[in-house]
Amino acid sequence: MTLDSHTARRIITHLKAGTTPIDSVEYVNVGNERWYSAAAEQFDEIQADQDSLVRFINGYYGDGKTHFMGMIRSMAFTKGWVVTYVTAESTPFNKFDVVYSELVKNLILPPKIQLPEWLARANARGAGALLAAVFMRFYLEAYRLTDRGGLHKEQVLEALRRKAAELAANPGVHEATGAAVKSYVEAIIRSDATKTHAVYSWLEGANIRVEDAGLVRRIDQKLSRDATRSISLLAQRAGAGGILILIDEAERIMEQTRMVRNKSYGVIRDLLDNADNQGGMRSSIIYVAATPEMFTSEKGFPEYDALRSRLANATYFAMPNLIDWRGVIVDLTKTPLPHNHLIQLAERIVDIHGVARDWKPKGLFNRQIITELVKRIETGAFIVSKPRLLASYVATLLDITEQNRDQSVSTLLEGTLRSVHASLAQKPETKQWD
Question: Which pLDDT tens digit goes with each residue over 185-225?
Answer: 999 999 999 999 999 999 999 999 999 999 999 999 999 98
Q: Are residues 287 and 179 in the same domain?
A: no
Among 331, 242, 306, CA closest to 52: 242
365 — pLDDT class (breaks 50, 70, 90)? very high
What is the domain-level CATH number for residue 246?
3.40.50.300
Greater model confidence, 68 or 122: 68
78 — pLDDT class (breaks 50, 70, 90)? very high
Q: Which domain holds residue 196?
A: 117-237
Q: What is the mean pLDDT of residues 285-290?
A: 95
DSSP state at residue 3: P
Give me the pLDDT at residue 363, please: 87
Q: Is the pLDDT of residue 20 over 90?
A: no
Give me the pLDDT at residue 51, please: 87
Q: Are residues 204 and 277 in the same domain?
A: no
Give me the pLDDT at residue 433, please: 46
Considering Cα of 74, then 79, then 82, then 88, what sign does the dihedral take? negative
Among 288, 268, 300, CA closest to 55: 288
Q: Are residues 269 and 158 in the same domain?
A: no
Q: Are residues 252 and 105 in the same domain?
A: yes
Residue 13 neighbours by CB under 8 Å, 6+ apart? none
Give me the pLDDT at residue 342, please: 95
Of 237, 255, 277, which one is at a domain's C-terminal end? 237
Residue 20 falls inside a structural domain:
no
Give me the pLDDT at residue 279, please: 58
Residue 357 falls inside a structural domain:
yes
Residue 8 falls inside a structural domain:
no
Q: What is the mean pLDDT of residues 286-306?
A: 94
What is the model's pTM?
A: 0.91
Of 334, 356, 376, which one is at a domain's C-terminal end? 334
Question: Which pLDDT tens digit goes with each residue over 396-417?
Answer: 999 999 998 887 888 888 889 8
Q: Is the pLDDT of residue 273 over 90?
A: no
Question: Which pLDDT tens digit goes with each residue over 326-339?
Answer: 999 999 999 999 99
Number of separate domains in the chain: 3
Q: With beta carbons less than 8 A apart as the criterion, state whether 249 and 289 touch.
A: yes
Q: How far apart are CA 183 and CA 122, in angstroms?
A: 19
